[in-house]
Amino acid sequence: MKNEKIKKNFLLKSGYLQFPIKKIILTQMNSRIFAGLIIISIITIMAITAPFITWHPPLKTLVGKPFTIPNNHYLFGTDDLGRDIYSNVIYGIRTSLIVGLSSVSIAVIIGTLIGVLAGYYRGIIEDFLMRITDMTLILPQFLLALVIVAIFGQNFQNIILAIGVVSWPGIARMVRAEFLSIKERPFIEAAKAIGLSDMKIIFSEILPNAMPAVIPYIILQINAAILIEAGLGFLGIADPNVPSLGLMLNTAQQYLMNAWWMAVFPGLMLSIIVIGLNLLGDGLVEYLNPRLRKR
Amino acid sequence: MEKNFFLKVVNVKKYFPVSKSFLIKSQKYVKAVDNISFSIRRGGTLGIVGESGSGKTTLARVILRLIEPTSGSVYFDNKNIFDLDKHELRKLRPKMQMIFQDPMASLNPRKKVKQILTQVFKLHTSLSNEEIYDRVLDLLEKVGLSPPELFLDRYPHELSGGQRQRVCIARAIALNPKLLIADEPVSALDVSVRGQIINLLLNIYRERGEDMIYIIISHDIALIKSMCKDTLVMYSGRMVEFGETDSIIKSPLHPYTRMLISAVPIPDPEIARTKKRIPISGEPPSLINPPPGCHFHPRCPYVMERCKVEVPQYFQVEDRLVSCFLYAQY
């Protein structure tokens, strides 16, 4: 009897996460998604276990002689202030991923909200919101982020916020486009006919159907956010209290002739992150768009 | 709900503006539903027939207020549906349900059968999860999906066309609606499962027919004949004939209805040979620029000068309404 109860409750519980991850892994996963996933998982594991795989605190100066060539103890060498480049790179990955994920989360929240309102309610709301989106879209993302950070101050939160605030318009447009097409499908009319409220229709009927098309774009957007952060760092606009791959490249350019390792390792790591995310994002775009899929 | 409820449709119109440009508001409309009135009493069955594009589906959607009407009123449950606000309308929803044409498209592809069905109960009843579970199982059994446990965890794409339509029917009848509109319930299905679905609809009607109003939209006159007491014939957004199904089929009055009836294949070749067929000439009129006067006049064999200018009113012939000047003397 008790078992039956548990079974019933289990049966009634409804799972909403139905993005076809299982299907991708089990069946027709293409090689790009596979490669991307492997790179990203290795990098993520490195970022999470950073304290265990490094043996020098990242920002501490003079842990070794300045400009030490890579050797057994200082795997990637040391920089002009005697900081260990290896631990800075590993912690730098952490920073990159945190910036990428949190700024894109902000962008997803703003973008989805605006896209949903515009796509579902149409009319004047749509015109108004989409013109705002267009206006944000025509400003160069990088410069806008630069200006925002310059105005509000160079700290970690501001950089995340700035990148989030500049990268929502694309997401808003995509969500809106998906809503426009899904909204007209008969099952939405059926949902209206049984008396679902607008909120329920938006969040439990349309959004789960719209998200699969937007997810690859979101992954590519994480990529863009990481690059913007590195770019800002390279221009010296970064929080000096947080290890950042871009900031390391900024320092490295002054000593490029004498200490090649200061530029090579952060640059290489940045490229690997970007390549991994790009492979994953592109692979997903291809996977979810049957017309691009090779047979 | 009072005992002798009815559905009364009065002068319902639905016009779609043809093109919306930024500055100039166009004055052209597609008159998808143009001035339709009828009423059905409790226990009544109405068939709506007409060719593609004649506005049958639009009429159904307007009656349920799934799209906003241009004008008119629909009385159901002693309320004018068009006057209700969002909240009141949502409360009335379980009493009026619709079965859609394409079962695949009208089920959310990301929801399992159990989610689709439990949702209805969660929305309009305060039953506990266990009670809902039992009701869902009963419902699936009722629409012929057995064993029901097998179907709970399936997604719509894992069902066959007939099974999908059964799920749609289950969703529509879950809360015992008083008004059930079936919009071409079998046209998207294989011929082999059509019979089963029609039988299912008939069974539902037999079970609680006296307590509900049934509207079936179809272009298949045989289906209408087997299921509906009354028939409404639509042409180009207008009602051309309304009356009892039997008498309409036996002696169609409007020239369009005559053509429609004579186009129905007759299974017995002996009878078919003796019967004179009236061929339908011409094509359905453009909805944006319909012919003036009676929309049917370019195709009508009995066309008079009057038909080209004036829109015919409804003339009462015995117990029927016909919109044709041939019956003007009545």
The three-state DSSP-derived secondary structure of chain B is: CCCCCEEEEEEEEEEEECCECCCCECCCEEEEEEEEEEEEECCCEEEEECCCCCCHHHHHHHHCCCCCCCEEEEEECCEEHHHCCHHHHHHHHHHEEEECCCCCCCCCCCCCHHHHHHHHHHHHCCCCHHHHHHHHHHHHHHCCCCCCHHHHCCCHHHCCHHHHHHHHHHHHHCCCCCEEEEECCCCCCCHHHHHHHHHHHHHHHHHHHHHCEEEEECCCHHHHHHHCCEEEEEECCEEEEEEEHHHHHHCCCCHHHHHHHHCCCCCCHHHHHHCCCCCCCCCCCCCCCCCCCCCCHHHCCCCCHHHHCCCCCCEEECCEEECCHHHCCC
Report, in angstroms and rounded to the nearest whole number, the Rg of chain B calculated over CA atoms.
Answer: 21
Cβ–Cβ contact A134 with B under 8 A: no
Question: What are the CA-CA distances from residue B258 to residues B248, B280, B290 (Å)?
Answer: 9, 10, 21
pLDDT in tens for each of the 330 residues of chain B? 456 778 899 999 999 887 666 666 667 788 889 889 998 888 889 999 988 888 899 999 999 999 999 999 999 888 899 999 988 999 899 999 999 988 989 999 989 999 999 999 999 988 899 999 999 999 999 999 889 889 999 999 889 989 999 999 999 999 889 899 999 988 888 888 888 999 998 888 888 777 889 999 988 888 898 889 999 999 988 999 999 999 999 889 999 998 888 888 888 888 878 777 777 777 888 888 888 888 888 888 888 888 888 888 888 888 888 998 888 875
DSSP state of A14: -
Chain A's closest residue to B107, CA to CA, is A187
Interface touch A190/B101, C-beta < 8 Å: no
CB contact under 8 A, B64 and A193: yes
List the domain boundaries for chain A: 21-288
Give the Cα separation of A171 and A100 in Å (integer): 15
Q: Is-above-0.80 flag for pTM?
A: yes
* Residue B145 within a domain: no
Nearest to B93 among A187, A193, A205 (CB): A193
A21: contact with B, CB 8 A cutoff = no
Q: Is A26 on the interface with B (CB under 8 A)?
A: no
Q: By the CB < 8 Å criterion, does B154 face chain A?
A: no
Q: Which of A245, A117, A232 is nearest to A176 (CA)?
A: A117
Q: What is the ipTM of this complex?
A: 0.86
Domain housing B220: 6-110+155-327
Cβ contacts of B93 on chain A, cutoff 8 Å: 193-195
B114 vs A contacts (CB less than 8 Å):
11-12, 14
- Hey, of B61, B62, B108, which one would you mutate to test binding to chain A, going by the most A CBs within 10 A of its CB? B108
Residues of B in contact with A187 (CB under 8 A): 105-109
Q: Which CATH number characterizes residue B63's domain?
A: 3.40.50.300
Does the CB of A8 have a partner CB in chain B at under 8 Å? yes
Residue contacts between A and B (CB atoms, under 8 Å):
70
Task: Please spell the DSSP secondary structure of A38-61, one letter per residue.
Answer: HHHHHHHHHHHTHHHH-SS-TT-T
Contact B110/A11, CB-based, under 8 Å? Answer: no
Q: Does A253 touch chain B (CB under 8 A)?
A: no
pLDDT tops 90 at residue A103:
yes
CATH level 2 (architecture), domain A21-288? Orthogonal Bundle (1.10)
Q: Residue B118: its chain A contacts at CB < 8 A?
A: 12, 14
> How does pLDDT run across A180-202, given as a tens digit for each residue?
999 999 999 999 999 899 999 99
Q: Which of residues 40-99 of B touch A (CB under 8 A)?
A: 61, 64, 66, 89-91, 93-94, 97-98
Residue in A185, A197, A208 nearest the CB of B90: A197
Number of domains in chain B: 1
Q: What is the dihedral of CA A176, A181, A182, A183, to 10 degrees?
A: 80
Residue B109 · residue A20 · CB < 8 Å:
no
